[in-house]
Structure 1
Amino acid sequence: MDFLLLILGFVCVIVGIFGSFLPVLPGPSISWAGIVLLYLTKAVPANYWILGISLLITIALTILDYVIPSKGAKKFGGSSYGIWGTNIGLVVGIIAPIPLGFIIGPFLGAFIGELIYDYKDHQRALKAATGSFLGFLASSFMKFVVCVMYLGLFFWIVWENRIGLF
């Protein structure tokens, strides 16, 4: 059973890293769940400090994930259409078989969303799309860094408890 929890925890941490870029997956939350699964094994003693601090980081990051893209869009004069366009463009960019689609998609999505909002002012739409895109990149980068840190924490905990796990 411990080995199954170990594997499931590892899968959650890896999926969390991918979720740091995909708007449909809560990356840090899934990575945190992977760490919790590791602590549910009999071989790893519970460390409530690590679980508590990492949970607080995950909650703060989840809140910031909603605030940062909207602040980036608002700072550059964007609307909620640009934010929705960024998320839709990301999904399309990942699915579409084009090189660097995960970068091009969010920007084009934000631009198209802003053009839907106000089709006459192309300059404002470009500026707002840039703001939405920069907010998305900042938010994704923060989530990615935290998820990679959780992966490192996962490996460290496994290494410290390798005798009981293997």
Structure 2
Amino acid sequence: MEIIAWILAIIMFIIAFIGLVYPIIPSVLFVVAGFLLYGWIMTFDGMNWLFWLIQILFVILLFGADTFANIVGVKKFGGSKAGMWGSTIGLLVGPFIIPVAGILIGPFLGAVLAELLISRKGLKQSMKTGIGSLVGFLTSIVAKGAVLLLMIGIFIYFVLI
């Protein structure tokens, strides 16, 4: 049973990392699902209150990371609220319209179009905002990936030690 528990947990962790580049997949929820599956199949004994407190804090951090990174990236490059919304919509829609490349093209185009059409900014500033949205998105992928690895490392520590 232990092997099955680990296999299922690892599958959940892999899906979580896929969610870093496909934002429709809630990465952090799959990591927590991996913890819960392991606990249900094996035991929750190693996962005490301290473990869950730490993990809940990371979950809260990760839910805010996307929004924060997008806001910082767009604002840092002179974008408006329309640029932020355009970037977010592009991030969600892009991968479905253009598989694989849409994850990068979507937020960029969303931010640029929102700045051009809604905020009425010039092409140069709109392009700058699009680049800012990409910088924010890529920064959030790296940061979230590091936090997911940390969460999994803490899980392994608490379960095996």
Number of matched residues? 160
Residue 69 of structure 1, CA deviation: 0.9
User: Judging changes above 3 Å, is the alpha-carbon distance between structure 1 residues 98 and 65 closer, same or farther for their aligned structure 2 residues?
Assistant: closer
Percentage identity across paired residues of the two chains: 33
Residue 98 of structure 1, CA deviation: 6.6
The whole-number CA distance in structure 2 between the counterparts of 1:69 and 1:37 is: 32
The whole-number CA distance in structure 1 between the counterparts of 2:156 and 2:121 is: 53
Secondary structure, in 3 states, of the residue corresponding to 1:86?
Answer: helix
Residue 92 of structure 1, CA deviation: 4.4
The one-letter amino acid of 1:118's match is S
User: Judging changes above 3 Å, is the alpha-carbon distance between structure 1 residues 92 and 60 closer, same or farther for their aligned structure 2 residues?
Assistant: closer
The one-letter amino acid of 2:131's match is T
Q: Which residue of 1 aligns with 2:28?
A: 28
Q: Which residue of 2 aligns with 1:124?
A: 125
The whole-number CA distance in structure 1 between the counterparts of 2:98 and 2:109 is: 15
Structure 2 unpaired stretches of 5+: none
Q: Which residue of 1 aligns with 2:138?
A: 137
TM-score for both structures, normalised by structure 1 = 0.74
Q: Is the 8 A contact 1:10 1:34 kept in 2?
A: yes
TM-score for both structures, normalised by structure 2 = 0.76
Q: Which residue of 1 aligns with 2:110?
A: 109
Q: Which residue of 2 aligns with 1:61?
A: 62
Structure 1 unpaired stretches of 5+: 162-166
Q: Is the 8 A contact 1:28 1:146 kept in 2?
A: no
